[in-house]
DNA sequence: TTCTATATCATGGGTTTTTATGGGATTCAA
DNA sequence: TTGAATCCCATAAAAACCCATGATATAGAA
């Protein structure tokens, strides 16, 4: 399994732990770091997730920019300072940092949403709303194109 | 762990000591010098930090740069005027030199900010301001590209 | 099929270890 | 000898580790 697929709803326990869906864990186990890499989305109330390897590749792309460029400076600031490495415990759970829980307005249940090479972590209710709006936008666009 | 990631806020005690975040220490323990290498940023009110090994590589690269380039100017200032080696004490803390505390306007709390191969040490309040600006610039850039 | 043994998974909770922090004591250097 | 730096230990909170349970799925035998 190399792709993050489908949606899973899991519980957040009192200690702040949540099980990463087994199929998502499969996408990561063969890699060097046993866990996931996450950061708060800049545009949406959700948490972006991926494997450590993908994050490394992202960071290499940043490195190829001019070392003293302004763009490099800003991208580096954003990429690394807000990123968290979350190791699995023995049972495939991770501890979500409070800052990210707040950002995504997550309290007791968590939606893991596959997006191919990455995934997102949502408050399930917010995800439903977001999903509905996205569908609506697609329909509107089709309607305007056919008009 | 090869990358400095995330942001940690720690306290400066009366003796001027501060705990280096455990995950940052992991990036350094396998190297020869048990500690970090720091210098005041040339452009920002912050302290640049990295492993001793990376500092060595930086100093080797300085020679290959154009003598009159801005890069040369920056690196020379950084590398040879104001660099400190800060060894860990038994509990993973370092003693920040007064000159650097003043330069970064640090008094009682310290933000360790990951930047991949390096990190920065900020006054947490100043960092928030800087970070907000960086994010704004990224969004402006994206907006202009999509226009 | 139906029943049973096995494996996986999400979840809960107890225990141990790590971490950040404070402070006393000792060493060092000007 | 006096202030600073280093070493050592204590503590509380957080994180990591370990094991148990119930639900679900799977496989194989009757």
CB contact at 8 A, B112 and B7: yes
Q: Which residues in chain B have their CB less than 8 angstroms from residue A79's CB?
A: 116
pLDDT tens, residue by residue, B67-113? 666 666 666 665 666 789 999 999 999 999 999 999 999 999 999 99
pLDDT tens, residue by residue, A81-128? 999 999 999 999 999 999 999 999 999 999 999 999 999 999 999 999
User: Model confidence at A147, in pLDDT bands (50, 70, 90)?
Assistant: low
Residue B140 has a pLDDT of 84
Burial (CB count within 10 angstroms: exposed 0-12, middle 13-18, buried 19+), residue B57? exposed
Q: Euclidean distance between the first and final Cα of chain B, in Å?
A: 39
For B1, the enclosing helix (H) or strand (E) is none
- Which of B3, B70, B138 lies at the smallest CB-CB distance from A78? B138
User: Model confidence at B143, in pLDDT bands (50, 70, 90)?
Assistant: confident
- Which of A70, A73, A81 lies at the smallest CB-CB distance from B114? A81
CATH of segment(s) A7-146: 3.40.1550.20
The torsion angles phi and psi of B103, rounded to 5 degrees, stand at -55, -40
For residues B118-144, give the mean pLDDT. Answer: 89
CB B5 to CB A84 under 8 A?
Answer: yes
In chain B, where are the structural domains located? 7-146
Nucleotides of strand C within 7 Å of the protein's CB atoms: 8-14, 18-23
Measured CA A16 to C1' D15 distance, in angstroms:
11
Q: Which residues in chain A have their CB less than 8 angstroms from residue B115's CB?
A: 76-77, 80-81
In a mutational test of the A interface, the residue from B73, B77, B116 whose CB has the highest number of chain A CBs within 10 Å is B116
CB contact at 8 A, A3 and A114: yes
- SS3 state at A18: strand
- pLDDT at residue B120 is higher than 70: yes
Measured CA A10 to C1' D24 distance, in angstroms:
15
Q: Which residues in chain A have their CB less than 8 angstroms from residue B5's CB?
A: 37, 80, 83-85
């Amino acid at each position: 399994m190399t792709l993050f697929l489908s949606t899973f709803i899991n519980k957040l326990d009192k200690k702040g732990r949540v099980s990463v869906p087994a199929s998502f864990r499969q996408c990561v186990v063969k890699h060097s770091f046993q866990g996931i890499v996450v950061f708060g989305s800049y545009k949406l109330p959700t948490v972006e997730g991926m494997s450590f390897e993908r994050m490394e590749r992202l960071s290499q792309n940043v490195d190829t920019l001019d070392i003293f460029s302004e763009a490099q400076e800003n991208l580096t600031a954003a990429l690394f300072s807000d990123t968290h490495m979350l190791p699995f415990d023995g049972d495939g759970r991770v501890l979500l940092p409070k800052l990210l829980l707040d950002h995504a307005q997550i309290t007791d249940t968590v939606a893991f949403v596959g997006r191919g090479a990455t995934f997102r972590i949502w408050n399930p209710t917010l995800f439903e709303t977001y999903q509905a709006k996205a569908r609506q936008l697609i329909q509107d666009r089709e309607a305007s194109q056919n008009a």
